[in-house]
Structure formats: structure tokens, C-alpha cells
Chains A and B, each alone.
Chain A
Amino acid sequence: METKIALAGNPNSGKTTVFNILTGSKQYVGNWPGVTVEKKEGRLRGFDNVLIQDLPGIYSLSPYSLEEVIARNYIINERPDVILNIVDASNIERNLYLTVQLLEIGLPVVAALNMMDVVRKNGDFINTARLSEMLGCEIIETAAIRGEGLMTAARRAAELAGTEKTPVPRHRFSDPVEQAVTRIGEIISGTVDPQYLRWFAIKLFERDEKVREELGLDANLSAGIENIIRNCEQELDDDAESIITNERYEFIGRLMAACVRREERKNNLTLSDKIDRIVTNRVLALPIFAAVMFVVYYISVTTAGSLLTDFANDVLFGEWIMGNLSEWLAAIGTAGWLTSLIVDGIIGGVGAVLGFLPQMVILFLMLAILEEIGYMARVAFIMDRIFRKFGLSGKSFIPMLIGSGCSVPGIMASRTIENERDRRMTIITTSFIPCGAKIPIIALIAGAIFKGAWWVAPTAYFAGIAAVVISGIILKKTKYFAGQPAPFVMELPPYHLPYAGNILRSVKERSRSFVRKAGTVILLASIVIWFFSSFGMVSGRLLWVEDMEFSILAAAGGLLAPLFAPLGFGSWQPAVATVMGLVAKEEVVGAFGVLFGVAGDALALVEEGAYEGLAAIAAHFTPLSAFSFLLFNLLCAPCFAAIGAIRREMNNAKWTWFAISYHFAFAYSISLIVYQLGLLASGAGFSPASAAALLLVAVLAYLLLHRPYNETRRLKSAAAEIHSS
């Protein structure tokens, strides 16, 4: 028979480490159904019949956070045999709050008192036997980082799963609450599983909306329950939610007094506090933060990362794979079009993306280290003020930071944001930050058209940041994003040495989803784009064309061109290049090279700074139209890989389409405004397009300045209408 163990614990309690050690490599990572919260399960090492389900890291079982609802739904509906609760013993008081709630459920619980090594080092003492007796559950002391006690705890949990007896938690609420809970239990008995009766009764007493909905009690019963709660609230002079929370913490206070002895520390400062005195210092915090980010970038983008990426792109894919493969395909007499499909289409497209992998692995590695030691929480603490100004939270900083390397992992990093609205907003805005693949476009425009002017690149980044800020302000005022700000009540966990296993696993998981994307979405998109760019209608027949000028893509570009005319680049080549940019942004440069008949590889010329060779491209643009083209390509829909990531993280087709349409509309408006007003300023006559640009400026100003959508105000006015009628 299979035994199911649910692994529950606070964030930062060492739960991830415990899970990794207990399951080893036998893990399955996926999503909880319908949401984008990560779901991990695995089998206990050496026990194939023991399944360990890792629950999201949670502080409580309240109905307000997605993670908490997922965890409690799993426990109630999937009925694990036993709960293994990881308790951070060095932060025992708050960690026990979840333990007390888990015990209320009525399933067997084993508590692993983790980080006991830290407790001992601090000179503190915990009377485990006494604690176990007062809580009414088994407790095993562990130190996950050294692997101490973990297998014992897991084995004990598995053994307990086999026994029939239902545990009786020792914690009792005050008499009035217990009476109320008992009476509510009498009312709902028969409608719920008897094993969970007490849990449901407590939740109804707390006025838990989710449980109320789930039980769907009729009006009579609900009124009866409400009456019981009101009486109890009157008697204790507080609201039900506070009564329950306070009493749980009072119980924990008694546990602390009886079982925990803390060593008095000098000035009450731990090592972590001392580090924070410098790292989150009023004066030093921002410079330190800037320095850390600089080092991360310097290593991942310019030195180690770019060395490896150049190797992957030029040598691995360029010479070894593409070169040898072409020769081999020619040698076995493969048809020209098939060779082209395999070499230019598939390997060119997928390879262009995979070439970024080394750079990204290094970036992921460094960010994982910062996350693991606890610095990322400090980043959110330092940056929150700025991001909140335009409707995001400090946690949005991390996705954008990663997004400056590549939008795909950046968008994926938005997972750490709990609030759904904040997360959606971050997903939508992250790709405005110029990613690594957009740098060649910036370099091309700056070098070939602006003669290497220093201000082009900073302006491009500034435009990206401005787009994030403006979008944040505009979107936050719409009804889809309005509402109460998400609680920013965040724990600042103590710094600790990184655990290599966790870091490697995190890097592996993030890299894998990046590769998977390249193997699916990009593969398909590459084939489609290759087909359209290699075949054309020649005298009424679909034929293989050598010259892209006669391809279907060129014809389609011709159709799209008028759309871009008001932006200053209304010919077919820029339109085609923009579409090619959807495969991978640096393809814009490559496509220009082919379309304008540049001798040699345009991308390589840009990298070498040989801009004379690119005169054919420069001749096609004025500085103004080139700048408008640059802005449009930086801001419009990101590449297919990033769109795929948006789709996955939004987990909803409507929101994905909203994001892409928003990108397009925003990019189009900004380019139109810049180009048309630029024309006016340079003395061109007033045209309908200039009027459209001025109108757009007015619309933008209105969207930025108008009063935000306000739910309460709307409800109030609706209520007033009902009254007056």
C-alpha cells in the first residue's frame, strides 16, 4: 500500500532542502492544477511506496493567499496519510503557529524541529519531550543542512500513517470559543467528513469565505452559525478572526515559556543583524545593491557568459554543427530545400536561442546564490518604495533584472510574487526591459545610422524603463488591476550559507524550462518562418526561391508595410525584419543584412563594429525613422519564446492576448508620437498623422492623470442609486 506524506512548513524553514534530501533525484515538478504555483512530489529514498508531496511554503491556513488555499485543499481533499511539518527551531515561536493549525485538522502530524544545529550554536535550549507532550504530536530534532534526523523523521511519519488512531491535539481554545465551535460542529455534522468536523467548525467560526462557499449551507443554518459567532464575539469583546489568532498565539506563548530557554545575547544582535547593519544601511544599501548587480552582470554578460555564448554560437552551432551538418547532408545527396530547412530553419532558429543558454545558466546560478543566502528579500526591502509608486512591489524588481538578460526566465521569475494582479502586471511589463538579444538592434541603429553616438544605447534602456513605469501607472488605474494593494508583510530571513544542492536544482529547473521552450515553440515558429521566407509565388506556382525578396514573407511584408508608414518605415524590408524579430530579436539585424544585400553576416559586422559595411541599411533610414524603428522593435511583442513564457505564467489565453495586444498598441503609439512630432519639429507640414500623434499624446496624458478606478466608490454610487429609486 502506498503511503502519502504531505510536507508542510513556513517559507525559509529549510523545507526545500528537506524535500531534496528525502527524495534525492526521484522528483516530479509540475504545477498545481489551474494555477502557476509549483507542485513538487517525489518518492522517499529507499522506500518506493512512500510518496512525499511538497506543499507550498506557507505561514498559515488562511483563505487569502493562493498558496495557503492550495495547501489546505490538498490536505482536506486528497487526504494524505500523515503531515510532516518542518519547523524552523531557530524561529520557533512563529513557526509553531502553522503547527497548531495543522494539528487542528485532525490528521496525524510529525513535527521535524529543523535547524537544531543553529539553536545549539546560539546556546538556546528546547525541551523537545515537553513540547511534544503539550502539543500532542511527535517531534524529531533535525538539521537539514547536515542531513541529521531527516530519515528518522520521514520513517516515523510513514510508520504513524499505518496506525489507526486519530491524534487528539492538546490545544483547546477558551471555553466560550470551544462551546461555539462545538455548537457549530453539531449544526454541520453530517454535511462534512467527521474526521475534519472540528477543522470545518473552526473555519466557519473564523468566517472563512472559502469554506462557507464550499459547504454551501442554506440560509437558515448560516444564520444560526452567525448567531453563535456574534454571541461569542460579544462575550469576548473582539472579532472572531482575532479571537482565534490571539488564542493560538497565547497557547504558543505558554509553550515557549515552558519549553524554550533563550540565551541572552550581547546587545541582542545576531550575525545576520550585523550583516544587515551594513547591507540595508540607509546610506550604504543602494551603493552595495548597485555593486552586487554590477558584478552579477559583469560576470554573466560580459566575461564568462559571453565567452561561453560566443563559443556556443560561433563554434558549436556555427562551425561544428551547421558546417559539418551541411557538408554531411550534401554528401548524402539531400535536396537543397531540405538542407536549408534543417540548417537555416531549425538549427539556425533553435540554435540562436540555445546559444544564450550558457550565459543564462551563469545568470541563474548567481541569482540562485543571492536568493539562497537571503539577499533577494533585502532587495525587495530596499526597492519596494520605488516600485510601489507605479503599482508594482519590490518583488517585481527581480523578474525585470533577470529580464535584462532574457525575458523568458524573467517572466518565469514572476512566480515569486504572491499577489495575482502584481504578478500579471510584472509579466506584462518585464519584456519592455531590453533583453540581451535586443542589444544587436540597438548597436546596429547606433552604429550604422547615428555614427556610434553614445546616447542611443542609454536612451533605449531609458525607454524600456519608462515603458514599465508608464504602463504600471496606466494599468493600475484600470479595473482589472485596481483594488487593495497587496500586503507587503515580508519576512527578512536570517542570512545563511548557501546549500549547493538547492542552488544546482534551481539552476537546473530554470534552464530546463528554457530549453524546453526552444525545443517546442521556437522550433515550430522557426519552421513556419523559414517556410514563408524560402518559398514564393513565382508565375502562379509555389516555388523554392533563393532570394528572400520573392518569398511569401516579402509579399506579406508588402501588405504590412502601409501599417508602418505613419511610423516612418513603410517599406517591406523593415516589416519583414520586424516579423523575423519574433523568432529571436537579433534576427532583425540578420534579416536586414539579407534584405538589403549586405555582403557578409550583418550580425557579425555589428559585433565587430564594422559599420561601413552596413551602409546599404543606413541608406534606407533617416535618423528619425531609424529611431522610431528601434523604439517599435524594443517595445512591441517579444520573441516567440517570451510569448510562450507569458502564456505559461498567465495560464490563461485571454490574458496572454491582452499582454501581446498591449505591447503592440503601446509600441505603435510611442513610435507614432515620436516620429510624427519629430517631423513637425523638423519643419514638415501638418498632416492627419500629426493630428493622430497629438491625439495620442492627449490620450496618454489622460490615462496617466485621470482618477483611478475605485471599487468602493462604484459600489457606493450603485447603492445610492438603489436607494433613490
Chain B
Amino acid sequence: MKTLKDVKVGKTAVVVKVHGEGPVRRRLMDMGVTKGTSIYVRKVAPLGDPVEVNIRGYELSLRKADCEKIEVE
């Protein structure tokens, strides 16, 4: 399974499914990470985590552990 964590900086991926459960999953979906949305990975924080992505026209910061829950293609 390819996840958002595997997407290189500067590349765009499309969400297939958000895995996991509870608050984190719901929060991701509420912020617009839903099936079919494209996510552009803008950069990685200076210390290697979290990452900054562009989604639905705004900037979002995600931890790599949460990126692993986002299946993409």
C-alpha cells in the first residue's frame, strides 16, 4: 500500500482511503483529506517531521505517523 509518507517533496498524490480510527482519522477527513482529493507535498520540517502539504488550496501540517494512515495513488 502506498501512503502519503512515500510521496516525495514536490510531488502530488491522490487520496484513496484514510485508514485508522477515532479522532485523528476524523480530523484528517474534516480538514479535507477525503477520497479523490489531490495533495501536494510542499516540504519537510527542518528536523525531518512533520511535513507541510497543500490541499484544497491551503497549507496543512501533518506528522509522518499520520501520513502513513493516508493511502494514496
Q: Which residues of A contact B (CB under 8 A)?
A: 59-60, 62, 64-65, 91-94, 97, 241-242, 245-246, 249, 262, 272-273, 276, 280-283, 285-286, 377, 380-382, 384-386, 388, 484-494
A-B contact count (CB 8 A): 122
Is A97 a contact of B30 with CB atoms below 8 Å? yes
Q: CA A384 – CA B63 in complex, angstroms?
A: 9
18 extra interface residue pairs, beta carbon distance < 8 Å, beyond A246-B29, A285-B45, A385-B50: A62-B26, A62-B30, A64-B22, A93-B58, A94-B32, A241-B26, A242-B18, A246-B35, A381-B52, A382-B46, A382-B47, A384-B45, A488-B50, A489-B27, A491-B31, A491-B61, A492-B52, A492-B59
Q: CA A493 – CA B43 in complex, angstroms?
A: 15
Which among A246, A286, A489 is the interface contact of B46 at CB below 8 angstroms? A286
Q: A62-B26, A286-B46, A385-B47 are in contact. Are A94 and B59 (CB under 8 A)?
A: no
Tell me if B's interface is mostly helix, strand, loop or mixed.
Answer: mixed
A122 to chain B, nearest CB (A): 11
Is A487 a contact of B45 with CB atoms below 8 Å? no
Within 8 A of A (CB), among B10-56: 18, 22-32, 34-35, 37, 42-50, 52, 56
Which among A245, A385, A488 is the interface contact of B34 at CB below 8 angstroms? A245
Which among B44, B56, B63 is the interface contact of A488 at CB below 8 angstroms? B63
A269 to chain B, nearest CB (A): 10
Is A59 a contact of B31 with CB atoms below 8 Å? yes
Q: CA A41 – CA B36 in complex, angstroms?
A: 40
Q: Which of A283, A388, A488 has the largest number of chain B CB atoms within 10 A?
A: A488
Which among B23, B46, B47, B59 is the interface contact of A487 at CB below 8 angstroms? B23
A residues in contact with B46, CB < 8 Å = 280-283, 285-286, 382
Which among B18, B34, B60 is the interface contact of A490 at CB below 8 angstroms? B60
Q: CA A494 – CA B58 in complex, angstroms?
A: 8
Q: Which of A97, A382, A490 has the largest number of chain B CB atoms within 10 A?
A: A490
A-B pairs with beta carbons under 8 Å apart, 8 shown: A62-B23, A65-B23, A92-B57, A93-B56, A280-B52, A381-B61, A491-B58, A493-B58
A residues in contact with B58, CB < 8 Å = 91, 93-94, 491, 493
A residues in contact with B48, CB < 8 Å = 385
Q: A93-B57, A280-B43, A487-B66 are in contact. Are A385 and B49 (CB under 8 A)?
A: yes
Is A489 a contact of B28 with CB atoms below 8 Å? yes
Is B57 a contact of A487 with CB atoms below 8 Å? no
Is B27 a contact of A64 with CB atoms below 8 Å? yes
Q: Say whether B7 faces chain A, with CB atoms less than 8 Å apart.
A: no
A159 to chain B, nearest CB (A): 32
A residues in contact with B59, CB < 8 Å = 272-273, 276, 491-494
Is B23 a contact of A488 with CB atoms below 8 Å? no
Which among A65, A388, A491 is the interface contact of B60 at CB below 8 angstroms? A491
Q: A94-B58, A488-B61, A492-B59 are in contact. Are A381 and B50 (CB under 8 A)?
A: yes
Q: A94-B56, A384-B63 are in contact. Are A489 and B31 (CB under 8 A)?
A: yes
A residues in contact with B52, CB < 8 Å = 276, 280, 381, 492
B residues in contact with A273, CB < 8 Å = 42, 59
Interface size on B, residues (CB 8 A): 35
Is A245 a contact of B30 with CB atoms below 8 Å? yes
A residues in contact with B63, CB < 8 Å = 384, 388, 488
Q: CA A381 – CA B51 in complex, angstroms?
A: 8
Is B66 a contact of A242 with CB atoms below 8 Å? no
B residues in contact with A492, CB < 8 Å = 52, 59-61
Is A489 a contact of B29 with CB atoms below 8 Å? no
A residues in contact with B56, CB < 8 Å = 93-94
B21 to chain A, nearest CB (A): 9
Q: CA A649 – CA B72 in complex, angstroms?
A: 41
Which among A91, A282, A488 is the interface contact of B57 at CB below 8 angstroms? A91
* A245 to B, closest residue via Cβ: B29
Q: CA A62 – CA B23 in complex, angstroms?
A: 9
Is A386 a contact of B47 with CB atoms below 8 Å? yes
Is A490 a contact of B61 with CB atoms below 8 Å? yes
Which among B23, B45, B47 is the interface contact of A64 at CB below 8 angstroms? B23
Q: A249-B37, A286-B46, A384-B63 are in contact. Are A487 and B24 (CB under 8 A)?
A: yes
Which among A381, A385, A484 is the interface contact of B22 at CB below 8 angstroms? A484
* B23 to A, closest residue via Cβ: A64
Is B60 a contact of A60 with CB atoms below 8 Å? no
Is A489 a contact of B32 with CB atoms below 8 Å? no
Q: CA A529 – CA B44 in complex, angstroms?
A: 53
Is A385 a contact of B45 with CB atoms below 8 Å? yes
A residues in contact with B31, CB < 8 Å = 59, 94, 489, 491
Q: Which of B18, B57, B60 has the largest number of chain A CB atoms within 10 A?
A: B57
